[in-house]
Amino acid sequence: MATLCRPSVSVPEHVITMEETLELARTHHADHPQLPLALRLIENTGVRTRHIVQPIEETLKHPGFEERNKLYEAEAKARVPAVIQRALDDAEVLTSDIDVIIYVSCTGFMMPSLTAWLINEMDFSSTTRQLPIAQLGCAAGGAAINRAHDFCSAYPEGNALIVACEFCSLCYQPTDLGVGSLLSNGLFGDGIAAAVVRGRGGTGVQLERNGSYLIPKTEDWIAYDVRATGFHFLLDKRVPTTMEPLAPALQDLAGTHGWDAADLDFYIIHAGGPRILDDLSKFLQVDPHAFRFSRSTLTEYGNIASAVVLDALRRLFDEGGAEHRARGLLAGFGPGITAEMTVGRWVQDGGITR
């Protein structure tokens, strides 16, 4: 029974507040005909602070996709190893114990993947498998957990390392003036997270069943338009309505496992925005307080893409965890529109549950 151990999370040192974001929008887009709407939408995100890899004056520049991607690689190499080491220490494993590294990111591109550099730099075994996932956006955090679960189910003595590295600020496009783009400028933040899934032992969420669901014909609702200037984020106004069709998918996964999705002990949910959490609370008939970890991530860090689910789980650990055998649901949502879902129990020291 694979156990998802305590995640390690790090955010950059440069901070931008909601007030600063609103003032920048007023200054840079004073003549925008939909500025009042954009400001209102940004205020309604509930994001109070975000962390970014560069000072805001540098973030607002656009030196070109080549320079931005070089910065992505440099910042990842500078910041990711320490986050991984804390995750390994918390899970009480060594680099030599890791059998696969699952690396997720949608804000920069490297080939070979950062996984190859990590194997060399941090002395992972040269037989360590590599699984980079680059095109699932915010859903990739949930997908990484699911693929780690699948791996440990196939190799019960194996251990998987999940790494999520998102520098959303490097995707800022000053020429994008759609309301969706202006909203994203006030919503997304930067963050890195890592966690170990142990095939045997460990304290955390013992993963029992996972699944995926894609809402048909919604692939253009969240997307990148890839141009010479880099990744241009596209966000359809219908995205906030997606919890109504996705809630039944969560209910089906829990129901297949013999559980009621409305009556679980903890929920670790990707917080794309407050509407997502409000609607999921409504359609699952779950107390809004159950999503407090996701709301805290959104408030303090903004939407940090694939790292959100791991940060929300870290907050559950910080609260002291859950009762042994407590039942929970983890879910990430992203382009597709895709849901990556997992159910499992909280265990202490890899306790066996039946």
* Residue 353 pLDDT > 50: no
Mean pLDDT for the stretch of residues 243-264: 96
The distance of Cα 188 from the centroid of its chain, to the nearest Å, equals: 11
Pair 282, 311 in one domain: yes
pLDDT, position 185? 87
Residue type, 28: H
Share of the chain above pLDDT 70, in %: 99
pLDDT per position as a tens digit, 300-352: 999 999 999 999 999 999 999 999 999 999 999 999 999 999 999 999 886 54
**Residue 310's domain is classified under what CATH number?**
3.40.47.10
Provide the token pair at 244: 């109504």
pLDDT, position 21? 93
Residue finishing a domain among 198, 229, 252? 198
Q: Tell me whether residue 352 is in a domain.
A: no
Residue type, 329: L
Pair 33, 103 in one domain: yes
Pair 275, 295 in one domain: yes
Pair 210, 276 in one domain: yes
CA 87 to each of CA 95, 192, 334: distance values in angstroms, whole numbers, following the listed order: 11, 11, 25
Q: Tell me whether residue 188 is in a domain.
A: yes
Pair 141, 271 in one domain: no
Provide the token pair at 237: 């106004």
Instruction: Report residue 287: phi and psi, to 5°.
Output: -55, 130
Q: Which residue has the tokens 């602070």?
A: 49
Q: Tell me whether residue 228 is in a domain.
A: yes
Q: Tell me whether residue 129 is in a domain.
A: yes
Q: Tell me whether residue 353 is in a domain.
A: no
First to last CA, the chain: 10
pLDDT, position 157? 95
Q: Tell me whether residue 132 is in a domain.
A: yes
Of residues 138, 152, 168, 171, which has the active-site annotation? 138
Provide the token pair at 96: 């030599």
pLDDT per position as a tens digit, 115-143: 999 999 999 999 999 999 999 999 999 99
Mean pLDDT for the stretch of residues 137-153: 97
Q: Which residue has the tokens 């013992």?
A: 206
Pair 67, 47 in one domain: yes
Q: Tell me whether residue 273 is in a domain.
A: yes
pLDDT, position 351? 55
Q: How confident is the model at residue 254 (pLDDT cuts 50, 70, 90)?
A: very high
- Which helix or strand (DSSP H or E) is residue 345 part of? strand 338-347
CA 64 to each of CA 175, 231, 234: distance values in angstroms, whole numbers, following the listed order: 13, 11, 19
Strand 159-167 and strand 190-198: the pairing is: antiparallel
Residue 152 a catalytic site member: no
Residue type, 16: I
pLDDT, position 350? 63
Pair 305, 322 in one domain: yes
Residue finishing a domain among 149, 173, 198? 198
Provide the token pair at 333: 């949502």
Whether the CB-CB separation of 308 and 270 falls below 8 Å is answered with yes
Pair 124, 194 in one domain: yes
Pair 284, 159 in one domain: no
Residue finishing a domain among 174, 198, 222? 198
Residue 89: give the domain boundaries: 3-198
* Residue 67 pLDDT > 60: yes
Number of domains in the chain: 2
Pair 208, 182 in one domain: no
Reference 164, options 131, 186, 117, 187; nearest CA is 131
Evaluated on CA atoms 121, 123, 126, 127, the torsion sign reads: negative
Q: Tell me whether residue 110 is in a domain.
A: yes
pLDDT, position 183? 86
Pair 128, 215 in one domain: no
Share of the chain above pLDDT 90, in %: 85
Pair 112, 212 in one domain: no
SS (H, E, C) 1-68: CCEECCCEEECCCEEEEHHHHHHHHHHHCCCCCCHHHHHHHHHCCCCCEEEECCCHHHHCCCCCHHHH
* Orientation of helix 308-318 relative to helix 292-301, angle to 10°: 120
